[in-house]
């Protein structure tokens, strides 16, 4: 059991990494496609490769942290201690191509974007997969909503800060180089990230059962016997395509097509802050009353019904309304994975008597990041369509992708809602303990 203070600093340790990952997701297409003029196919391909990189990283380091303990630091801490500073350094490099390349070098910029974004994702997986694997080991099922709530607070604040950071990038960034304000902001994010891990590394020690003979095949076989786990992987993969499309496109959409000015960017940031905060509260209420599945389906439908209106929106007022509903969907997407995977890990531990927290935290990265890579490639093809759409009120034209991205994202969100009807993500642990009393006794001892 964790004390209240431990729950807070464990959950809030996600703040720095959340800021970095959210800003990278929000700003990668804006920075390379809109500001640095890297063609859409190249931009989408670079982002797709970075998703494949984090897929390999999360699977590798999650399973390594399950099976290779150190005498002094245990299993999880060494990966966090090494990975966190490397993640911070690579985040700075993503936005610094001007230090290494000449302006106009398209091929060089493509390789630079691919390498730096991939390195960040690798080090993110090296750090956060072992860190998140701690959660089911440090907590009992009844504690997880409280811990997850603090993680969601960190994610919410991180998303908001990442949004404002991306807004500042859109306002201040020039075609080449990194403004001083952006550099100082990034350095501030690095400080937050490094300091955020310190309390957990110093104050937390408990770990779960060590599996002396690693067998990924055995782990995979045990997990895939759970039809609900497989169904969740399918559902999350589908909705991740739509959510990734929203996240990658929002800032190019309001920057290039709707031509937001500074005031409108500020309004958008405040709006997103308010929407995500309000819907976090709404969703936590509906989780208690209706369960996780109903709540997730509700959040995805709110977004899916609004996104097709990108076909007809031409004003900032209408865009604010559209993005508010899309933000409601994004809030739902970010709320669930930590609880769901911790529940599946605990469910498997009750049923088998073995601890696989790292596996349940890392293995889902294969279908998830594979689908997100597909989403990035799809984005590249969509935004490589002919530039025949007039910018509202201007004499310039942009790609047809600015019209079609909404309906395409909505389709994948709707498909995920359908799959979730067949998936139980609200396990009854009391019933499971009654069914597997011997394994439960082994876990407790």
Q: pLDDT tens digits, residue range 290-318?
A: 888 999 999 999 999 999 999 999 999 99
By the 10 Å C-beta count (0-12 exposed, 13-18 middle, 19+ buried), 239 is classed as buried
- Average pLDDT on 197-202 reads 87
Residue 225: phi and psi, rounded to 5, are -70, -20
CA distance 121 to 286: 33
- Average pLDDT on 161-190 reads 89
pTM (two decimals): 0.81
Q: What mean pLDDT is reported for the chain? A: 86
pLDDT above 50 for 199: yes
Query: What structural domains does the chain harbor?
Result: 4-198+213-444 (1.20.1250.20)
- Judge whether 420 and 296 are in contact, CB under 8 Å: yes
Rounded to 10 degrees, the C-alpha dihedral 159/161/9/187 comes to 130
pLDDT above 90 for 4: no
**Cβ within 8 Å of residue 427, ≥6 positions away:** 228, 343, 344, 347
- Judge whether 113 and 32 are in contact, CB under 8 Å: yes
pLDDT above 90 for 202: no
Residue 398: phi and psi, rounded to 5, are -130, 175
Question: How would residue 142 be classed by pLDDT, with cut points 50, 70 and 90?
Answer: low
- Judge whether 325 and 409 are in contact, CB under 8 Å: no
DSSP-derived letter for residue 38 is: -
Question: How would residue 274 be classed by pLDDT, with cut points 50, 70 and 90?
Answer: confident
DSSP-derived letter for residue 336 is: S
DSSP-derived letter for residue 398 is: E
Q: What's the pLDDT score for residue 444?
A: 45
């Amino acid at each position: 059991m964790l004390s209240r203070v431990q729950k807070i600093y464990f959950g809030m340790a996600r703040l720095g990494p959340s800021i970095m990952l959210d800003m990278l997701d929000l700003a990668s297409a804006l920075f390379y496609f809109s500001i640095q003029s890297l063609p859409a196919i190249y931009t989408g391909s670079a982002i797709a490769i970075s998703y494949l990189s984090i897929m390999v990283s999360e699977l590798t380091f999650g399973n390594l942290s399950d099976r290779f303990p150190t005498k002094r630091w245990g299993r999880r801490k060494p990966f966090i201690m090494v990975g966190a500073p490397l993640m911070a350094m690579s985040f700075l490099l993503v936005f610094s191509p001007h230090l290494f390349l000449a302006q106009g070098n398209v091929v060089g910029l493509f390789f630079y974007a691919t390498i730096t974004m991939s390195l960040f994702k690798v080090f993110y997986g090296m750090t956060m997969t072992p860190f998140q694997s701690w959660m089911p080991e440090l907590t009992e099922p009844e504690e997880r909503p409280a811990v997850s709530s603090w993680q969601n607070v960190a994610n919410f604040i991180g998303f908001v800060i990442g949004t404002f950071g991306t807004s500042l990038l859109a306002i201040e960034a020039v075609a080449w180089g990194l403004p001083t304000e952006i550099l100082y902001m990034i350095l501030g994010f690095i400080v937050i990230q490094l300091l955020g891990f310190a309390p957990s590394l110093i104050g937390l020690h408990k770990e779960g059962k060590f599996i002396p003979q690693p067998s990924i095949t055995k782990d995979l076989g045990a997990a895939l016997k759970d039809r609900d786990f497989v169904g969740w992987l399918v559902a999350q993969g589908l909705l991740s395509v739509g959510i990734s499309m929203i996240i990658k496109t929002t800032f190019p959409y309001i920057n290039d097509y709707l031509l937001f000015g500074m005031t409108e960017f500020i309004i958008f940031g405040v709006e997103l802050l308010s929407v995500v905060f309000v819907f976090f509260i709404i969703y936590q209420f509906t989780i208690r009353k209706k369960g996780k599945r109903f709540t997730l389906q509700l959040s995805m439908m709110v977004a899916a019904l609004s996104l097709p209106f990108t076909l007809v929106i031409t004003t900032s007022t209408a865009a604010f309304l559209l993005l508010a509903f899309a933000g409601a969907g994004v809030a739902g997407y970010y709320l669930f994975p930590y609880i769901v995977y911790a529940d599946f890990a605990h469910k498997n531990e009750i049923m088998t008597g073995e601890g696989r927290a790292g596996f349940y935290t890392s293995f889902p990265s294969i279908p998830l990041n594979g689908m997100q890579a597909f989403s990035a490639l799809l984005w590249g093809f969509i935004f490589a369509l002919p530039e025949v759409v007039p910018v509202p009120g201007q004499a310039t034209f942009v790609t047809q992708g600015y019209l079609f991205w909404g309906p395409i994202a909505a389709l994948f969100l709707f498909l995920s809602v359908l799959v979730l009807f067949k998936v139980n993500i609200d396990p009854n642990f009391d019933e499971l303990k009654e069914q597997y009393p011997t394994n439960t006794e082994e876990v407790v001892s």
